[in-house]
Amino acid sequence: NIFVASRMHTVYLCNFNLKNAEKTGGKDRATKQKIEALERQSSKFRAFYLTKGGDAYNILMSFWLDINCAVYIALNRPDFFISRGAVGYFSLVAAKIFGTISVREIHAVASSEIALLPFGRIKKLLLAFYFKIFNQIDMLADVRIFNHPFLLEHYQKLNKVKKGDFYCYNGYSPAG
């Protein structure tokens, strides 16, 4: 088993605003709880995430967080780099260069959900391009954690599952 908690040096990166995660609930609260559980289980831990809202801030700071995380990986050589959301390119490259195991959380087939979004055609085209980039990051990670067995099955049908990929339902357990 590659995950030996008592000796793990773990880095977690996401582009969610987690400042008031307990109040906002949903994915923010679950992500914050996951970070807290990882921190308890790791011998050394560092998390990179947003602390403000706003589209322009999110785009600029996501880029900045990714670069900071990549530098952290280069300087500290953690065992694991875990990412979720629309971030992780530079950090993933650093993880590959410095021998850190990269783990990517996959919560949806984003390209399938574009049609469901309440946006105009141009914004949907931009999102489609954006999702293609992050799908590549998903594919380059050493291990992918799918949040549902149907999602894992979808990737299996596309022959895009690697040894070590697995699913773990969304949710939180205080014992985690």
* Per-residue model confidence as pLDDT tens digits over 87-108: 999 999 999 999 999 999 998 8
% of the chain beyond a pLDDT of 90: 51
Give CA–CA dist 100/92, Å, rounded: 9
Place of tokens 């990882």: 38
| Separation of alpha carbons 36 and 54, rounded Å | 24
Task: With beta carbons less than 8 A apart as the criterion, state whether 95 and 89 touch.
Answer: no
DSSP state of 173: -
* pTM confidence score: 0.86
Residue reference for tokens 């949806």: 108
Per the CB < 8 A criterion, the answer to whether 30 and 22 are in contact is: no
CA neighbor of 2 nearest in space, from 175, 145, 138 = 145
**Percentage of the residues of the chain whose pLDDT score is greater than 70:** 93
148 secondary structure, DSSP code? S
Cα–Cα nearest to 31, from 86, 84, 73, 101: 84
What's the chain's average pLDDT?
Answer: 88
pLDDT digits (tens, 9 = 90+) for 21-56: 777 778 888 889 889 999 998 999 999 999 888 878
pLDDT at position 117: 84
Select the more confidently predicted residue: 1 or 124. 124
Contacts 24+ apart (CB under 8 A), 161-164: 164/2
pLDDT higher than threshold 70 for residue 174 = no
